[in-house]
Amino acid sequence: PRPVETVAQQIPLTVVCEDEDLIVIDKPAGMVVHPAPGSADGTLVNALLHHFGGTLSGIGGEARPGIVHRIDKDTSGLLVVAKSDRAHHGLAAQFEKHTVHRHYSAVVYGVPDAGDPRLRGTRGVSFEPGNVMKVTSQLARHKTDRQRQAVLFEGGRHAVTRARVVEAFGGVAALVDCWLETGRTHQIRVHMAHAGHGLIGDPVYGGKRKLPPKAVGEVGAAAAAAFPRQALHAATLGFRHPVTGEELSFSSPLPADIEALLVALRTGEN
């Protein structure tokens, strides 16, 4: 593989907040966060280098300057990036202590429910008051497929995800609010799949499931089958400003493609 040469590129960015120490970006689906083999340019870092004229925190090295956390290429939504080294240290400490508040909107197969005996019998799955599903496991790279993460109960890294149903569609799909206690690679995607509620459109963990037209109509079933990415959006992000100490909270509306999917699912129910 060639060494990664990170160059500034003029790529449009949606800036939610910016000061001298950090920037909050609303990342579109399809954009990789930082250069890596197979994604040498066109990334968020390339765009940020152009936006700032090269003033990102140097802590992440040439390929990952300023990057404190990531969201997957095909996940949309909010991301904070450090512009200064002091911000980088402060933000990294908050992520390490799990004090950053992150909520994701996901559209999943099925409707997670505390009354479901299958879920009650699924290892690592429990329910908290308010019908909040909690998935607790270890996560590690899959033994045979290095692009995947696998749920383990020994070894790996501790991971906890919570999920609450926001809206159900014909008893066969749901919009859920997921929030992270830890932030592991693919965590929401692999945990929801482990619980039997994989994300619609997820090519890795979603399975080959199809929604029955009887439940959500032909339009809803077709929209779900054709959805081109995992239906996952980083909707809210809250943290303490690493320099001023101010509590900050940001929210991002659902992108047009997920909103259209929900409209199709609702239409099919009526």
Catalytic sites, residue numbers: 72
Q: Kind and range of the H or E element at 198? A: none
Site of tokens 């659902």 = 254
- The strand pairing partners of 164, in sequence order, are 177
Write the CA distances from 120 to 108, 112, 126, 196, 201, integer angstroms.
18, 11, 7, 12, 26
Site of tokens 């799990």 = 98
**Measured between alpha carbons, how far is 138 from 102 in angstroms, rounded to an integer?**
20
Q: Two tokens at 120?
A: 């009650």
Q: Two tokens at 44?
A: 């968020």
| C-alpha 177: how far from chain center | 11
Neighbours of 258 (CB within 10 A): 24
Q: Two tokens at 125?
A: 């799955």
